[in-house]
Amino acid sequence: MPATAPIFVLEKLPYLENALEPYISAKTLSFHYGKHHAGYVDKLNSLCANTAYADLSIEAVMKKTSGILDKAAIFNNAAQVWNHAFYWKSLNPEGSRKPSGVLLSKIETTFSGYENFHKQLIETAISQFGSGWAWLVKDGTTLKIVKTTNADNPLVHGQKPLLTIDVWEHAYYLDYQNKRQAYVEAIVDHLLNWDFAASNF
Enumerate binding residues for Mn ion (CB under 5 A).
166, 168, 171
Considering the complex, state which of residue 96 and residue 181 has its C-beta at the smaller distance from Mn ion: 181
CB atoms near residue 131 (< 10 Å): 15
State which residue has the least CB distance to Mn ion.
166
CB of 3 to Mn ion, least distance (A): 29
Beginning with the edge strand found earlier in the chain, give each strand of the sheet holding 132-139 in spatial order. 142-149, 132-139, 160-166
Considering the complex, state which of residue 81 and residue 136 has its C-beta at the smaller distance from Mn ion: 81
In the beta sheet, which residues pair with residue 161? 137
CB of 87 to Mn ion, least distance (A): 7
Considering the complex, state which of residue 90 and residue 103 has its C-beta at the smaller distance from Mn ion: 90
Q: Is the CB of residue 122 less than 8 Å from the CB of residue 188?
A: yes
CB of 170 to Mn ion, least distance (A): 5
Who's near 161: CB < 8 A, 6+ residues apart? 86, 135, 136, 137, 153, 154, 155, 200
CB atoms near residue 102 (< 10 Å): 10
CB of 47 to Mn ion, least distance (A): 19
Considering the complex, state which of residue 17 and residue 166 has its C-beta at the smaller distance from Mn ion: 166
CB of 21 to Mn ion, least distance (A): 18
Give ∠ CA 194-195-201 in degrees, rounded to 5: 85
Within 13 Å, how many C-alpha atoms sit on residue 104's CB side?
10
CB of 36 to Mn ion, least distance (A): 5
Considering the complex, state which of residue 156 and residue 171 has its C-beta at the smaller distance from Mn ion: 171
